[in-house]
Amino acid sequence: MKKVIIVVVTLIFSLSTHAQGIIGAWETISKAQNGDQLKTVVIFTEGYQVSTTYDATTGKFISTNGSAWKLEGNTITEKIEFHTKKPALVGTELTYNIAISDNEIKIINSSTIMKRLDNGTPGVLQGAWLMSGRVKDGKTQMRDINRPRKTMKILSGTRFQWIAYNTETKQFMGTGGGTYTTKNGEYTENIEFFSKDDTKVGRKLQFNYELIDGKWHHSGLSSKGAPIHEIWTIRK
């Protein structure tokens, strides 16, 4: 009986460690038909992931998709929440097999190999967050994060991406992302792609941030120059 217990505990620990090993940011480089170099960045947080492709030189946005995910052995199951190329897939599940090493993910039966960018550190905001409120004129206005219309910001240790979408209508409203840092209460974004306006690529945006009762308070000037004070809640 003791041997059986030890085997079961070891298996659970192995699966948990394997799942934790995928957390972070990954990238793969490919070529478009016109010869342009394309970069695909995938961010895995606990339970959620997003994959985005954009022109590595110009930052021109190409596509994005995201999902809830779980890993069992070497099989990933994803439930799609948004997909710019195939919106009909929203709400469906896809499965595929992977092989993970410390610095590489290979999709089985595919030529796709992703190289690790980070393991979820050093940024302290790693995770998938949903816009849950704003502070305006000194008044806090909260919103229901369970409604179909969502604004999510997903961060690894060095990469960020925000996405606005609707799981009910399968509509995608916009996205942007790149690299970020957190230091001394300051959160800085370096924009590498922006679906609605390529001219924002290359911009650096600085904000104040604070974690209050587990919620991320984010304040400063938006990409349009307007003052904002947003409240974000981690997804569960």
| pLDDT (tens digit per residue) in 148-173 | 999 999 999 999 999 999 999 999 99
Domains 24-118 and 127-234 share a fold: yes
Report pLDDT for 11: 35
Of 25, 27, 67, 26, the residue nearest 47 (C-alpha): 67
Q: Which CATH number fits domain 127-234: 2.40.128.490, 1.10.3720.10, 3.40.50.2000, 3.30.450.190?
A: 2.40.128.490
Report pLDDT for 150: 98
Q: What are phi and psi of 14, to 5 degrees?
A: -65, -45
Report pLDDT for 223: 83
Tell me if residue 36 falls in helix, strand or coil: coil
Distance CA 121, CA 127 (A): 11
Report pLDDT for 20: 64
* Domains of the chain, residue spans: 24-118, 127-234
Fold classification of 24-118 (topology level): Lipocalin (2.40.128)
Report pLDDT for 19: 61
- Where the chain has pLDDT below 70, the residues are 1-20
Find the angle CA(111)-CA(61)-CA(23) to the nearest 5 degrees: 55
Task: Give the number of other Cβ atoms within 10 Å of residue 87's Cβ.
Answer: 16
Report pLDDT for 224: 84
Of 46, 62, 26, 57, the residue nearest 202 (C-alpha): 57
Distance CA 173, CA 175 (A): 7
